[in-house]
Structure 1
């Protein structure tokens, strides 16, 4: 797991935004810190994907609203090409549904542009250490939407399935879940398969996004 505390280590960053002033601001903000080197700047999503094919990077900081290929579609392609790269979204969008889509793609962080000076440096350091970081305004919006829609998990999942959903969303392995609930790994696998089918979830990223949306786990718990 990378750490921003290693002496002399320089992290390679690709930035993507269709506004030159944002790219310039990111370069000025990050290169004042000797730990970061912006190796490429992209003004559209397709250029970002093409750059990732050609360059090795530790972190991508990208907008969502970009021409030629939007941010979410670009991230989807990048996850196929280089699943190990950390991805941090920098966006003006506070919409909970957009945040959920980003989480389902496995992004590592989401910072609102209005919070760039307060939270971006912290988010970058957290993500590069293997953690997750999300703007509080986003999680507040998500919590409001959750309360408006009610608790879907309670309606369609058994108590045991809800327990396993929570532990899986926290990143625990099937063996760890079995040990904690005093059940076999095979039983955990069966319950996990059932809840994924009931909720129409395709992967662990979608599972985590659903668990956060429904209030089964908090973003703070995932970040810790």
Structure 2
């Protein structure tokens, strides 16, 4: 199994030390760098990008959202997981738009962090159950996202993507081939005018959270 390389960003040294000790207990996970400031994080990303950046919302000299936007633009293979003590509805929404793939509360159990890391590592979105009440604001979503009528199969694929299912899992659940699911994904991106799979995953999470509010 390929090792998951993590860059840990948090302004508090003691928090970083504790998180590092925890994550290095997870099989196949290694913390390759730890930093406390935004500029230092960007410098390390340019030199030796990890698989996942696990970051607090606010860093010295920058924010996780600013960094996520840059990563999404220049290093789309690097995933971002936001780990914070306080995350509200606006921050979840802003994080999704910036390119954050996972959200975990610092009040979560240690096992949940491992689950989130493994989900994000393979490109699946993750939202901590403690944060589920911070659902996406429906009015702003309706203003910013295109109104599109999707075929039934594509709606089902979108829903399963929003629930964190992988392409293989969706194929098994729907009784389809992996290639057919990939075709549905491509057509979804075209219909929703999304440029890449990360953008589709973020849209799917917002769509699922919004549906859960109804």
Q: Say whether residues 1:28 and 2:33 are aligned partners.
A: no
Does the C-alpha gap of structure 1 residues 162 and 73 become closer, same or farther in structure 2, counting only changes over 3 Å? farther
- Cα contact 1:91–1:112 (8 A) shared by 2: yes
TM-score when normalising by structure 2: 0.71
Count of residue correspondences: 188
Does the C-alpha gap of structure 1 residues 55 and 157 become closer, same or farther in structure 2, counting only changes over 3 Å? closer
- Where do 5+ consecutive residues of structure 1 fail to align? 1-5, 179-184, 197-202, 219-224
Alignment of 1:92-107 (within 5 A): 92-107=85-100
Q: Where does residue 176 of structure 1 map in the other structure?
A: 184
Pairwise CA distance, 1:217: 9.7
Q: Where does residue 50 of structure 1 map in the other structure?
A: 43
Q: Where does residue 78 of structure 2 map in the other structure?
A: 85
Pairwise CA distance, 1:16: 0.2
Q: Where does residue 60 of structure 2 map in the other structure?
A: 67
- Cα contact 1:46–1:74 (8 A) shared by 2: no
Pairwise CA distance, 1:37: 1.8
Does the C-alpha gap of structure 1 residues 66 and 174 become closer, same or farther in structure 2, counting only changes over 3 Å? same
Q: Which runs of 4+ in 1 moved over 6 A?
A: 162-165
Pairwise CA distance, 1:75: 1.1
Pairwise CA distance, 1:175: 5.0
Pairwise CA distance, 1:73: 0.3
What is the distance in 2 between the residues matched to 1:130 and 1:216?
Answer: 22
